[in-house]
Amino acid sequence: MTDMRHSLVRSIAAILLVPALLAGGADASDWPQFRGRDAGAVADDPRLPDTWSATENVVWKIDVPGSGWSSPVVTGNHVFLTAVVAEASEMEAAKPGLYNGGVVTAISKAVHRWMVYDIDLQTGRIRWEREVKRSTPTAPKHQKASYASETPVTDGERVYAYFGGMGIYVFDLSGKALWSKEL
């Protein structure tokens, strides 16, 4: 997938959560980790729409810069996403099907920016964005993957973002860096 398609996929994922989240209280509607509150991937709320499209049951849309496979997480009025923004593309664009045995051995020489985004649940605007690291990758990745594959988690007071071999980065809800551990 291209960066644009990665961004679109992540945008759609955030959009689909919004109608139910806007209707409920912050605690009941939090989605603090991959697959939700109890990691069951079930949002059992009668207010959730049965159908949606690019225009039906959509409260807002946003293009998130960069590419990533992480899922959005939600606490209160905060939607958190991670992404990696490459300053230049050296890799062949992803295409359907299997190829190269599923393994990519080349490491990009382009500078990448590892990012954490906080999006306002009510408006869909980026509240803050933090660059946690700017460097060239130190390892290859599959052509169809991203360096932002791990979903962040939140405990309702902080957001924790893990980027594979790069490190763990923790922010409070206002975007203040609390601590980090590079790997």
124 sits in the region (left: phi over 0; alpha: psi -120 to 50; else beta) called left
Flag whether pLDDT at 7 surpasses 50: no
Give the per-residue pLDDT at 31.
74
* pLDDT score for 130: 98
CA distance 166 to 157: 23
Q: What single DSSP character describes residue 20? A: H
Query: Which tens digits make up the pLDDT trace of 129-150?
Result: 999 999 999 888 877 778 888 9
- Tell me the three state secondary structure of residue 48: coil
Please write the tens of the pLDDT for every residue from 41-81: 666 677 778 888 888 988 899 999 998 888 899 999 999 99
| DSSP per-residue codes, 49-66 | -S---SSTT-S---PPSS
Over range 91-108, report the average pLDDT. 69
Q: Mean pLDDT across the stretch 33-46? A: 66
Give the residue among 172, 102, 166 at the shortest CA–CA distance from 181: 166
- For the residues 11-18, what does the mean pLDDT come to? 42
Q: What are phi and psi of 15, to 5 degrees?
A: -60, -40
What per-residue confidence (pLDDT) applies to 152? 95
Give Cα separations from 118 to 49, 92, 158 (angstroms).
Answer: 24, 30, 11
What proportion of the chain, given as a percentage, has pLDDT over 90?
42
Determine the pLDDT at residue 2. Answer: 45
Cα 27 to Cα 32: distance, rounded to the nearest angstrom: 10
More confident residue, 117 or 31: 117
Whole-number Å distance between alpha carbons of 76 and 137: 34
Q: What is the pLDDT of residue 36?
A: 65
pLDDT: which is higher, 139 or 119: 119
- Locate the DSSP E strands across 20-121: 73-75, 78-86, 112-120
CA–CA gap between residue 6 and residue 70 (Å, rounded):
10
CA distance 129 to 151: 16
Q: Do residues 175 and 163 lie in contact, with contact meaning Cβ atoms separated by under 8 Å?
A: no
